[in-house]
Structure 1
Amino acid sequence: MKINIIIFGQLSEVLGENLVIDNIADTESLQQALHKKFPELANYKYVIAVNKKQVTVNTVLKEDYTVALLPPFSGG
């Protein structure tokens, strides 16, 4: 199962702009895998969106879902 990950803002300095990760069942497992592979990610705040919807609880991921990692932002 492949999960497409799009990275925005300052997070792309750590992770690059896009990733594809295999065999991840949910957003909690995804975060653990990313923090293991990229330990410096722990120094950044970000939210996760799944298929363009921000998630705040552990969410099941399915084949070809798109996940976005979004750094904090402010509007004016």
Structure 2
Amino acid sequence: MITVLFFGKLAEIAGAKAELQAVASTDELLEQLRLQYPALAAEKYIVAVDKKTITGNTSLTDHCTVALLPPFSGG
């Protein structure tokens, strides 16, 4: 099972947390989330797997935690 955490505006769309089964990669996970929550397709976000941000498709294993983070700026 893959745990997905949503933050900021993304949490307003999808809730704070979701759990998905049988997902092999982040591309597959994001596709399933877009089907389940169509409003996510219009949002920009950063993907992190087990607290490390990623830039491309990443393999997932059981018990991974994926976080979808809205863009943020420091200051």
Structure 1 length-normalised TM: 0.96
Distance in 2 (alpha carbons) for counterparts of 1:3 and 1:58 = 15
Q: Deviations over 1:20-45 (max 9, x none)?
A: 11111000001110111111111110
Structure 1 residues not aligned, in runs of 5+:
none
Q: How does 1:3-18 map to 2 (within 5 A)?
A: 3-18=2-17
Which ranges in structure 2 are unaligned for 5 or more consecutive residues? none
Kindly provide the amino acid, as one letter, of the partner of residue 20 in structure 1: E
Code of the residue aligned with 2:7 in structure 1: it is F
- Percent of residue pairs identical: 45
Q: Determine the structure 2 residue equivalent to 1:60.
A: 59
What's the TM-score, normalizing by structure 2? 0.97
Residue correspondences, number:
75
